[in-house]
Structure formats: structure tokens, C-alpha cells
Structure 1
Amino acid sequence: MPTITLSKLVKQYSGSQSAAVKGIDLTVQDGEFMCLLGPSGCGKTTMLRMIAGIESASGGVIQIGEQIVDSVSDAQFVPPEHRGIGLVFQSYALWPHMTVERNVDFGLRLQKVPTEERQRRCQEVMEKLRIAQYAKRYPSQLSGGQQQRVALARMLAVNPKVLLLDEPLSNLDASLRLEMRAELRRIHETFGTTIVFVSHDQWEAMTLATRIAVMSEGEIQQVGTPDEIYAQPANPFVAQFIGNPRINWLEPHTFCQSELGHYLAPLMVHQDNLVKLGVRPESIIINDDPNGFSATVTNIIPTGGSWVIELQTGNVILSHSTQIMPRWTVNQVVRCQLPIDALHGFDAQGTRLNLLAAQTSGYQVASCCSYSNRETPHQPSIASSSSPTLQL
């Protein structure tokens, strides 16, 4: 299967002041499952359509394997039918008057594949996608998930070098979507096809992709594995877009004179350019450790298999999530800790900071906060554990 290379790719629509895609560089490796993830209007579908050849680039180069399929500067453009690509749209786009079998072999008929070979490939792909028993049915007689499998089978039957999927699961209900996610993973493992998948659903991206390209306003914000994207977001947009419940944001000026500010003082003194600090809900530790900071439980929200605990400390509201039934009650005061390696810090330009430098031992305590209610601040220390926490 080929590698897809996008170099300085631009798409500017006539009459628009801002480009839909702004000079993107991206490589999709041979056999990779790449997800283009982002909110509506970020340019992910436009990129997919340019790879497919449905849209032409305004600038830059698209290369599939060894072949340049779109280059404005060299006046090269390979039409979609000659790119060896299969495209599955958000709508299934099945022929309603054709049976499942005829829908699946439609592309093979256009390619004038011999009858015996066509029947063999059609039967093979229908069996792999578990729709062979529906071969004589029409699309109207199938469920949404079955129709989606037929659309995928039609593309896979022609053995495309690259499979492009434009939000193919968005029309399915929750149970079918879960089933089709597993199906897509199995298809990728079985066929080894290079797949580019467009989605605005972070959980689809996290569970399906080998790598994710997070997009916003026509630009790629970060490219990495699902674990990298989640654990080390490159900027505040990625940190906030990925994760549910959303990341908690702490801005130093909002808690400067609070107990939380004192708790974070040893971190702040070594990060004087820190303007935005994030912690994911599941990373907050609630225990009886006196070295933590106090917070009041203001709400407990069951979400089915997990709980969201709302905490208030000073004027800061935090969300904590847990899969263990909470033993706390509303209005109860608890002690909380924030593991240093679970904190995400960014400067004024949105650049990620290395907060682990705050673990350096032997430093002198200083604070950006006012301790008007204390004669002297407590001497802080760093807990020595696999997930160190700041201590009062």
C-alpha cells in the first residue's frame, strides 16, 4: 500500500478571505490508519476530498506512492478514477434498485473485471464483512450498520490502494457505531489498507487510529499516536478538544491568593512564563493527605459506570472523574492533590512547558501569591513516588 505525502497543501475557495487549508505538511505511512480530527469547518473533509481528487489544490503537492497526483506549480492533476482510491461518504450512497451483491460488484463491473474473478472477489469481501447472507436483499431491507458494511465492501472489492472515510459512522446510533468501530479495526487488520478517516468524534479517533492529526482553522495542531495526543497535548486547543469530561484549566491570576495558589507555589516559582495550567479530571487525587489542598464537593453526577465530582476550592471549580462509586457527599470538604506529571502547562503563546523541572530538589520557596493571612508560607516539598505531587 502507498504512502500519502502532503506538502505545503493549500485550499483557497473563490471569494473567501481565509484559506480552508493553510500550507499543511503531513505524511500518512504505508498501511497506517490516520484520523483527521477536529471540529466542523476545520478543513479536514476538504483535505480528504483533495486527496481523493474531488477538489483540486490551490497550492502545494499531493503524492500517493511514487506518483504526484496534484501539483499546482507543475500543472499536474490526476483525476480521481486514476488514483487507486476508494472513498466512503458520510451517506452510504447505495443504489436503491440494486441488490447488495450488485452494489458490491458495481466498481468491478466498471473496471470490466471478468465474471468469474468478479464473483470471487465480491463473495470474498462480503464474507469478510459478514453480509454474504444479505446478497439478494435491497438496501431498504438492511439496517444502518448493514448498509455501512455494504458501502465499505463496494470500496474494498476494487482493492483500492488507499481507503478514504468521510465520517462514515455519524449516521449510526450509539450501539451500531460501537459495532462499526470494531468492524473498521478488523478491516484494517485484515486488509492492511492505508486508511485516512475524517471524524469530529474524539472517541472514534482514539479507538480506531494508529495516528491522529488534530486540526483547527485549516491547520494541523498536532500529529501523534492516541496516547501521545492525550498525555502530551502540544497546545491548549488540543488539550481541551481531547478528553471527556474536558480538562480543568487553572490560570494563576484566578487563584493567586487562595490555598490552591499556595499549593502550586513551588511549581509557579520555577515556571515564571506559565499562564495556563491544565489537569484532566481523572488525574485529580482525592484522599486524606494533609499535604493536599482543601475543596468542597458541590455536586456528584452519575454518568453510567463513572461519576463526575464537582469540587470548589476558593473561586476555582474543578471536575474530577472516577469509575469507583464515590464515598463523599455533597458539601463535604475533602483534600486533593495534583500529580506533577499529570499537569499540562502552557505559556502565553500556547507552547507546552516542561513542568517536571519543578521536581528539582533543594530549591527555595517563592510564590507569586500574597500570603496576607499567613506570617510565613509552609515549606513545600515534592512527594517521592511514581506520580509525584506538590505538598504544602
Structure 2
Amino acid sequence: MKNRIAGLAVFAVVMLGMLLIGEWVIRGLFADETVLFPRYHTDVQYGDYTLRRIRPNSRFRHASIDGSWEFVTNSQGFRNREDFSYQKPPNTFRVLSLGDSHTQGYEVRQDHTFSAVLERYLEKHLGSAQVLNTGVSGFSNAEALVLLENEGLRYDPDVVVLGFFGNDLEDNIKAGLFKLNEAGDLVPARYEHIPGVRIQNIIYSIPGVQWLSENSYFYSVLFNSTWDFFKNRLTQQASEQVAEYAVPQKTEYSNYEIALAEALLERLHQVCKDNGITLVVVDIPLLVRDGEVVSSFPDSLQEAARQHSDIFIDSKTLFSDYAGAIELQLPHGHHHISEFSHALIGVAIGEGVLRPQD
């Protein structure tokens, strides 16, 4: 018995030593490239759909060579400090923000996301305002639509903001929640999309794992490598699905990806119109390089986005004067849009919402 205990102790010491060496090597060689961006997703039921959200009532940090950022979520899993009742307070202007990690505010402080900036802007001009930041990293337009129809409408928003980023076209396929039938109509395809959630539910129940995810470079590389493997496998499956429906164009996106995104935008807009809600679509810049802003919308989809929204925030119009003069995207990490970009977007949305519409 004593020999067994001694053997286990030696094994534990050896494993700890290997982990410490691994941490030292990763920090020494890859400190500039490694990010500590734990996702903290869990599952949530919205009507018949099972989707992912950020863990409710959480407080955690992200870090990279560019900085450190705190995240706080409310009981609904939104990146807000306060909880929201379904019933809107009297004389309050309410906005629902939908989107992926750009909307959630990766690499941005809690009070500097475009949702937070928009809330302060509206409070200044209207008195009482609430902006619900429901952004979730990896979210597609399909998931945003499901969230709006099955949960978001219950909050009685006056405005819905969709943060659109270029990878949404592929993510719509990965999600697999909707498809286009032979007639080109948008129809349900399945009712669950929770990539990586089941394993996160397990590992984050283990004491110490949250600390590792926010502080250990070695753990981050190990977890993200595993995550990327399954993400790439899902991407391959999505590509095969696209091939079943359309012949890919000689561009970055296939006909089917563009058609599906357009159908999702059209339905989002129709849902908003049916409920007296203003829809704002934000074109989050795909890339800012050498003074040039690259839109997230392919040319063939941008016109549809303008048609299927009440207010369209054009990234080239909004950012071109600043490109090359100020940091619009983070230089390292995952290159999310900067706090300056969030501020521009938040104010632009506010100005558009308060401007009389035709």
C-alpha cells in the first residue's frame, strides 16, 4: 500500500514538472501568439431550439499581448451587469444587439463595446435606455434569428442591431439550423447547435480549470488546438453540404452561402417589421490593411443587406477616413475591432436610430 502511494506521489510530481516545463516553453516561444480567450459557453433552450450562450452570472478575463479584458454576464448570459425583465420599464428605449465575438466585445473592455457606447448615447439624448448585448462568439446569422424569434422578442425591443462579420456566411452553414429548399425558401433543418458546449459543461465544473483557462498558456494551446481540430472538421462538413446545393463561384463565397445569408437577413427584417422594430445591420470590417477597409459583405450581398434593413452601417463609409491613421483592429490576438471602432459603431447606430426615417 505504501509503495502504491509513493508511486502515485512520484507520478504526480513528474506530471506537475512536465506541465511546468510545458508552460515555461510555451511562454518563452509563443507568448506573442498565444491568447487566453476562454469561451465559457453553456447550452440554453430557446423555444424548440437548443443553442449556446455565455455562462450566466459569470466574471472572467481574457488576455493577450495586447491587453487584458474583464467580462461580466448577467443571469441571462448577456454581457451586461444588470438583469432585464421581459417587461420593458416605462419610458425606456430598448435595443437588442445580436452577433458574434465582435458584438460580444472580444478584446474590448466591458463598458466600451458598441452596445455599451450606444446605451450611453441614447441615455444622453432620450433619458432612459437599455441595450442588451446578447453577442456570443461564433454565433451565426441563423442563431441570431432563432434567438430573436424565440427569446429576443419577449424583451419588447424598439431596435434590433445585427453585427455582421464575414465569417457569418460560413457559420450559417456550420450551424445547419436552416436551409434553402429547391424553391429557394428558407426552412428549418435542425433544432440544436452547441459546438463544444458539452465538454465545456464538464471541464468547467472541475475546480481549478477556470483559473487554468485564464492564466495558463500551455492549457490554452492544448485546448485551442483541440477546439480548432473539431472546428475544422465542422468546416469540412459545411463545405461538403454547400457542394450538394450549388456550384461554388470563383470567389470566396459560394452561391448557396450568399443565398442563405440573404434569406436569413430577409426573415430577420420581416420579423422586425411584423413587430414594429427597427432593424440595424452593422457591416463590421473584415479587414483593415494598408489604409483600405474591406467590407464583410460580398458585393452581391451588400445590396440585399441594405434592402433587408432599416438602417445599414457601411464599414467603408464609417472607417475609411481613419484607416491607417488609428488602430481599427487589434494588432495581435484575434484581430477584433478596437475600442475606437466600437465607439464609432455605437455612435453611428445612435445617430441612425434618432434620425427621422423615411
Q: TM-score range by the shorter chain?
A: under 0.3
Higher strand share goes to which structure?
1
Quick one: higher RCO (CA 8 Å, sep 6+), 1 or 2?
A: 2
Higher helix share goes to which structure?
2
Q: Which has the larger radius of gyration?
A: 1
